[in-house]
Amino acid sequence: MVLSMAVLVGHRALLQAFRVKATGHDSVCRLAAAFCSRQYAFPGKVSPSSRLNGPRAGTRHYSSDSKEDLRVRYLDGEDAGIVVVGINRPKAKNAISKNLVKMMFEAVEDIKKNNKVRSVILCSLVPGIFCAGADLKERAKMHQSEVGPFVSKARALITELGNLPVPTIAAIDGAALGGGLEMALACDIRIASNTAKMGLVETKLAIIPGAGGTQRLPRVISVSLAKELIFAARVVDGAEACRLGLANHSVEQNNSGDAAYLRALELAREINPQGPIAIRMAKLAINQGIEVDLSTGLAIEEACYAQVIPTKDRLEGLAAFKEKRRPQFKGE
Q: Which residues are catalytic?
A: 134, 179, 182, 202
Q: Are 187 and 283 in contact (CB under 8 A)?
A: no
Amino acid residing at 138: E
Other residues' Cβ atoms within 10 Å of the Cβ of residue 239: 17
Any long-range contacts for 318-327 (C-beta under 8 Å, 24+ apart)?
326/273, 327/273, 327/275
Q: How far apart are CA 293 and CA 54, in angstroms?
A: 47
β-pair type (57-60, 82-87)? unpaired
Largest CA distance in the chain: 66
Q: Are 278 and 308 in contact (CB under 8 A)?
A: yes
| DSSP per-residue string spanning 251-299 | E---TTS-HHHHHHHHHHHHHTTS-HHHHHHHHHHHHHHTTS-HHHHHH
Q: How far apart are CA 325 and CA 224, in angstroms?
A: 48
